[in-house]
Structure 1
C-alpha cells in the first residue's frame, strides 16, 4: 500500500504548486493594478517585486548606470542613489514613467523638454533661436556659477556673469532666477554640490556652457513587460537616499 502514500504525496505537492501559482498570479495582478506611489508601502508587493526588479535592472539599466546605480559623470549618467532627482521628485510613478518612455528617447510621453544649448556655437540650440555668447561671456557665466558654490571669485566677473545668466544668456529660463533648477523639465540645481557632468570644476562648467549637454535614456515600453517596468522602478526607488524624493 506504499504506492498510495506516494500518490497522496504527489497530489499534495501538485495542489501546493497550483496554490503557489495562483498566489503568485494574484500578487502579480495586484502589483500591476496598484497605484504606483502606494506600492512601496505594501510589504507583500515589495517582496514579490524586488528580485524581479534587481534582475531587470541588471539587464536593462546597469550598462549605463552601473551595477551599484551610481552613474557616470564622465558621460552625464545620473547617480540613482544620491539625494538629487533631475527629473521629478523621486516618486515611484515618476521613475516608472522614465523607465517606460525615457528621456529624449523619441517617445512623445518621455521627458523631451530641456537641452543645454551650446553657447559657443553660432547656432546654440536646434529647437528655437538662442543667441550665442561671446568667449568672455562664457567665462563670466562660468565664474558666476562657481560663485554659487561659495567659491572665491572676482566680484566684477561674478556680476557680469549674473547679468548674462539673467538676461541675454537666458539661463534663468530653465535654471530659474535663483539657479535652483526645475525638476519638471530636468534643469539641474546649480547651487548644490551634485553634478551630472564633471566634478563642478571651472573646466567642466565652462565645457557645459560652451558645448552644451543633452543626455538621453531609452524608453522600455516596447522591450520590457509592465511587471518588469514596475518592478525595476520599485528597485530604483528603494535605493534612493532621500532629498527631494518623498513617499505619499
Structure 2
C-alpha cells in the first residue's frame, strides 16, 4: 500500500490528481455543509410530494396537499369581486351626479370607468382621450350635446346616429353641394373660418355672411355658436373635427361627414356606462 503524498506547503494530503503540475488537495467539505446539502435534497423530495411539481403529458402531479396557485388567484379575485360588490350596487342605484357627489363612489367609478375606457373607447378617442380626425377630444370644453354629467351619460348610453337605438343622438347636416353652387360654398367656408379667427379670404368671407344667414344660421345660430338641441357645433372656437382651413370647411359643407358611435348600454350595461360617464367627466372637459 502506497503512502499518501503530503503537500509541502499546506501539509494536506493530495488526492493523486494532477493537472499541469497543479495537485488537488484532499480537503473534504465541512460535515455541517454536507448534512445541510442532504437535508435540502430531502426537503426538495418532500416538497414535490406535497405540492404540484412533476410535469406530465397534459398537467402536473397535484401534490398530497392539493395546493393550486390558480386556486389562490381565483380566491383573491372572488374576494375582490365581493369587496367591490357594495360599490357596484350603489353605482347601479344612483345617478351620475349623485355618484360624483360621493367621494368614495366617485373614486371607485372613475377607476372602473378608466378600465372600461381602455377596453372599449381608446380605439376611436385615443388612450389619452384626445381624439383624432373625425373622433372628438374628450378633454376640451366643446360638447355637441352638453358636457354636464347627465348629458355625457346619455350620449354614451344611446350613442350617436346609432340606428339600433331609438333614443340615439341625431344631427344631420345637409349636403350643401346639392343646394349651393361652388362659389357660395367657397364664400360660406371663408365666412365660417373667419368666425374663429382662422385665416380666410376677407372678400369671400364678407359675401359668405349672407349665404351663412340663409342656410346655416338656423342650426348653428346667427353668431355661429351652435345649438346643442340639434347637436350643431360651435363654429367660433377653432375646434374642428374634420380639419380647419377654408378647404376642409368647404369639403364638410359640400358633403358632410356623419360619424357614428355605438349605444353602449346594450353592450356594457347601465352600471358600466355610468362609470364611463364619471371617468369622461373627470378628464376635465365636463361642465
Could you tell me the TM-score, scaled by structure 1's length? Answer: 0.78
Q: Do structure 1's residue 176 and structure 2's residue 224 form an aligned pair?
A: no
Q: Do structure 1's residue 208 and structure 2's residue 252 form an aligned pair?
A: yes
Aligned counterpart for 2:237 among listed residues 188, 192, 205: 192
Aligned counterpart for 2:138 among listed residues 80, 84, 87: 80
Deviations 1:140-173 (A, max 9, x none): 1011112212345554422321111111xx2111
For 1:166, the equivalent position in structure 2 comes to 213
Offset, 1:21: 6.5
Counterparts of 2:78 and 2:253, CA distance in 1: 60
Which 5+ residue runs of structure 2 have no aligned equivalent?
Answer: 1-76
Offset, 1:39: 1.5
Could you tell me the TM-score, scaled by structure 2's length? Answer: 0.68
Counterparts of 2:264 and 2:245, CA distance in 1: 34
Aligned counterpart for 2:168 among listed residues 110, 113, 125: 110
Counterparts of 1:235 and 1:152, CA distance in 2: 36
For 2:274, the equivalent position in structure 1 comes to 230
Counterparts of 2:202 and 2:131, CA distance in 1: 35
For 2:123, the equivalent position in structure 1 comes to 63
Counterparts of 1:153 and 1:238, CA distance in 2: 36
Counterparts of 2:137 and 2:105, CA distance in 1: 25
The change in CA–CA distance for 1:202 and 1:24 in structure 2 (over 3 A counts) is same
The answer as to whether partners of 1:103 and 1:216 remain within 8 angstroms in 2 is yes
Q: How many residues align structurally?
A: 210
The change in CA–CA distance for 1:101 and 1:18 in structure 2 (over 3 A counts) is closer
Deviations 1:197-218 (A, max 9, x none): 11x2111111111111211111
Q: Do structure 1's residue 32 and structure 2's residue 77 form an aligned pair?
A: no
For 1:99, the equivalent position in structure 2 comes to 156
Structure of higher CA gyration radius: 2
Of the two structures, which has the highest relative contact order with CA contacts closer than 8 Å and spacing of 6 or more? 1
User: How much is the aligned-residue C-alpha RMSD, in angstroms?
Assistant: 2.1
Deviations 1:76-123 (A, max 9, x none): 1100011211221x11111111111100001111111x2222211x3x
Offset, 1:20: 7.7
Offset, 1:29: 1.9
For 1:11, the equivalent position in structure 2 comes to none
Counterparts of 2:104 and 2:258, CA distance in 1: 39
